[in-house]
A = this chain, B = another copy of it.
Amino acid sequence: MTCTVDEAALRTRTDRQNMRAEDIAEDFPIVSVDSDAVAAARMLAEHSLPGLLVIDASGKPYAVLPAFEILRFILPRYVQDDLALASVLGESGADQATQNLAGKTVGDVLPDYLRNVPSADARDGLMKVAASMAKLRSPLIAVTKDGRLHGAITASRLLAAALKS
């Protein structure tokens, strides 16, 4: 009896089964929790990012700042406190966006649910990373290797790796 094995298919299958967080982690823009929120907002804007990776004073991954969460803080203060008041906003005001955000740090504009976010370990499998991101409802997750920041994975990048046919 002769057995033929599709070596390429076998290799693809094995590679993907063993793919780990470190294999798809990318360099990603980082801001410190103490840094300027206006600079962070400009970084999100210039690079069209879904969010930023936030590190603490020791350089360890600490939080994630989704782009949509910072929008609240470009609004006039009375609307920040009660978004329902946005219905009275007219056409003007966009020129005050920077002014409204000025003086705040990244820590000031972080949502509570994305503070103290656990990182993925470099050796974690892709499905474990997917489960973490789904649980956190985060557009990205930090990857650490030997306790140090190794990169980040966005939700769309994880989908690309997991669905590769």
Inter-subunit contact A134/B91 (CB<8 Å): no
Q: How many copies does the complex hold?
A: 2
A160 CA to B38 CA in the complex, in Å? 11
- Complexed CA–CA distance, A19 and B92 (Å): 8
Q: Confirm or deny: A30 has a beta carbon within 8 angstroms of a beta carbon on chain B.
A: no
> Which residues of B sit under 8 angstroms from A136, Cβ to Cβ?
68
Contact status B163-A125, CB under 8 Å: no
Using CB atoms, name the residue of chain B closest to A40.
B159
29 A–B contacts, CB within 8 A, in A order: A17-B93, A17-B95, A18-B92, A20-B91, A42-B159, A45-B156, A48-B154, A48-B157, A50-B50, A67-B139, A68-B138, A69-B137, A70-B155, A71-B134, A74-B130, A74-B159, A75-B130, A75-B131, A79-B131, A83-B134, A86-B132, A91-B125, A92-B125, A92-B127, A93-B127, A94-B126, A94-B162, A97-B162, A97-B163
Which 6 pairs across A and B sit closest by C-beta, in order of nearness? Answer: A86-B131, A67-B155, A45-B160, A50-B50, A97-B162, A91-B125
Residues of A within 8 A of B (CB): 13, 16-20, 38, 41-42, 44-50, 66-72, 74-76, 79, 83, 86-87, 89-95, 97-98, 101, 123, 125-128, 130-139, 154-163, 165
